[in-house]
């Protein structure tokens, strides 16, 4: 780490960028493919409980929501806009994918892709740790409401 | 067998996106570094 807190070298920077672009690209393709149907979907269809779970997600349109989150995450990671928020938003999706991959419908490939999904998400969260630390390291945070912040930002400040 | 584990169309697409985006990023970094003089200031 340099004195101004920037990255220590180009290798570290490009490693993080590679992870961001791969994870973002994968999320965007996975999300967009649900709507565009270019490649066959990779949802688990066996055992029966996995197929039932996926069918309920589809019937309740929760699957559309998940794929929407993946598209937003992908766009965010590829453009570099709001990356820490996108990584936090993607984490529940990652956990479900990991759980399905390891415990509900394990295959040789899912045993590789499930942990990879988690590792990439955690690695990128750690790369943006400085932005997440205020959220994660305050056990009893005082209230800081949106409306207080909006009032304080108005001309004249909070006392007007 | 290993190929079946490692390969999927999604992964191939994501890898391609990664390579193109990294190349674009590296090119932009290189162009920025060329515009800087030896003192680190941007040439005008």
B39 band by pLDDT with thresholds 50, 70 and 90: low
Residue ranges of the domains in chain A? 10-159
**Residue A115 at interface with chain B, using a CB cutoff of 8 Å:** no
Q: Is the pLDDT at B41 greater than 80, yes or no?
A: no
Place of tokens 């941007």: B42
**Residues of B with Cβ-Cβ distance to A30 under 8 angstroms:** 10
Average pLDDT over residues A83-90: 97
| pLDDT tens-digit readout, A104-145 | 999 999 999 999 999 999 999 999 999 999 999 999 999 999
**Residue A26 at interface with chain B, using a CB cutoff of 8 Å:** yes
pLDDT at B40: 62
pLDDT at A141: 92
| pLDDT tens-digit readout, A14-57 | 999 999 999 999 999 999 999 998 888 778 888 999 999 999 99
**Residue B24 at interface with chain A, using a CB cutoff of 8 Å:** no
Tell me if B18 and A22 make a contact (CB, 8 A cut-off): yes
**Residue A112 at interface with chain B, using a CB cutoff of 8 Å:** yes
Q: What is the 3-state secondary structure (H, E, C) of chain A?
A: CCCCCCCCCHHHHHHHHHHHHHHHHHHHHHHHHHHHCCCCCCCCCCCHHHHHHHHHHHHCCHHHHHHHHHHHHHHHHHHCCCHHHHHHHHHHHHHHHHHHHHHHCCCCCHHHHHHHHHHHHHHHHHHCHHHHHHHHCCCCCCCCCHHHHHHHHCCCHHHC
Whole-complex ipTM: 0.83
Q: How far is B30 from chain A (nearest CA, A)?
A: 12
Average pLDDT over residues A77-95: 97
Q: How many CB pairs under 8 A join A and B?
A: 52
pLDDT at A96: 96
């Amino acid at each position: 780490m340099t004195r101004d807190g920037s990255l220590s070298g180009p290798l570290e920077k490009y490693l993080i960028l590679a992870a961001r672009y791969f994870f973002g690209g994968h999320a965007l393709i996975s999300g967009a493919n649900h709507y565009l149907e270019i490649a066959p979907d990779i949802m688990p269809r066996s055992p029966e409980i996995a197929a039932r779970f996926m069918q309920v997600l589809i019937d309740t349109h929760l699957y559309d929501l998940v794929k929407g989150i993946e598209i937003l995450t992908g766009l965010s990671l590829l453009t570099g806009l709001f990356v820490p928020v996108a990584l936090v938003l993607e984490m529940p999706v990652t956990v479900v994918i990991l759980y399905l991959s390891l415990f509900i419908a394990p295959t040789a490939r899912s045993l590789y892709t499930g942990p990879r999904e988690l590792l990439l998400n955690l690695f990128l969260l750690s790369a943006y740790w400085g932005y997440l630390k205020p959220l994660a390291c305050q056990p009893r945070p005082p209230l800081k409401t949106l409306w207080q912040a909006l009032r304080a930002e108005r001309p004249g400040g909070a006392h007007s | 067998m290993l190929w079946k584990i490692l390969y999927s169309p999604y992964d191939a697409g994501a890898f391609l996106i990664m390579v193109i985006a990294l190349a674009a990023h590296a090119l932009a970094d290189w162009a920025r570094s060329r515009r800087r003089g030896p003192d680190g200031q941007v040439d005008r």
